Amino acid sequence: MEWLDGIFEVFKIKIIPISVTAGLLLIYVVGRSLSLRFIKRHAEKNKLSKGRELYARKLISLLLLLLFLTIIGASWEISLKGLSLYFASIFTVVGVALFATWSILSNLTASIILFFFFPYRVGSEIRIIDGENSQEGRILDITLFYIEIETADKKVVAYPNNLAVTKPIVHG
């Protein structure tokens, strides 16, 4: 029975983090469910492709999971002191990689903006006004990184999402 007393003692000490974890788990499950339902309704209402809906669902789910795990780690007072050299090395490598590929992150962010606020869908005729790099044609697909546009001469152009968000677009 000594081992049972030990379990009860640990439970008494950790009652607050256990309670916070249970509450946060409930909030995470409900929040994720509501977010995914919202994305589905938005996609159906605006007749967006299943692929675009899937991209948005995956990205939002990943962001919610990272937020949940960060808050759980803080509530359990996870210490990173012993791992500081390890994390410093990783952050250095990631920092260089992110600096080199900043456009990838901006395209991912722009894809979420396009999912919720882009008035055009697959099949729409558009003209993106971008000086010498202007594009005109029919939208074939909108992915996480670019918009595929079929031009009048049947060539397919991949136009980056981050530029599509910042440039004027004319319908038709």
Residue 64, domain extent: 1-78
| pLDDT of 52 | 87
* Residue with token string 């499950």: 29
Query: Of 43, 78, 113, at which residue does a domain stop?
Result: 78
The pLDDT of residue 96: 63
Closest CA to 71 of 37, 122, 31: 31
Domain closes at, from 78, 103, 132: 78
- Check whether residue 70 and residue 131 sit in a common domain: no
Same domain, 88 and 168: yes
Shared domain check, 124 and 39 = no
Same domain, 18 and 86: no
Q: Which pLDDT does position 148 carry in this prediction?
A: 95
The CATH number of residue 147's host domain is 2.30.30.60
Say yes or no: 119 and 164 in one domain. Answer: yes
**4 and 51, same domain (yes or no):** yes
Regarding pTM above 0.85, the answer is no
- Within a 10 A sphere around the Cβ of 149, how many other Cβ atoms? 24
Mean pLDDT by 10 residues, the chain (172 residues): 70 77 94 96 90 90 88 74 63 64 77 86 93 93 92 95 91 80
Q: How many domains does the chain have?
A: 2
Q: Are residues 88 and 9 in the same domain?
A: no
Q: What is the rounded radius of gyration, in angstroms, for the C-alpha atoms of the chain? A: 23
End-to-end CA distance of the chain: 78
Q: Same domain for 92 and 164?
A: yes
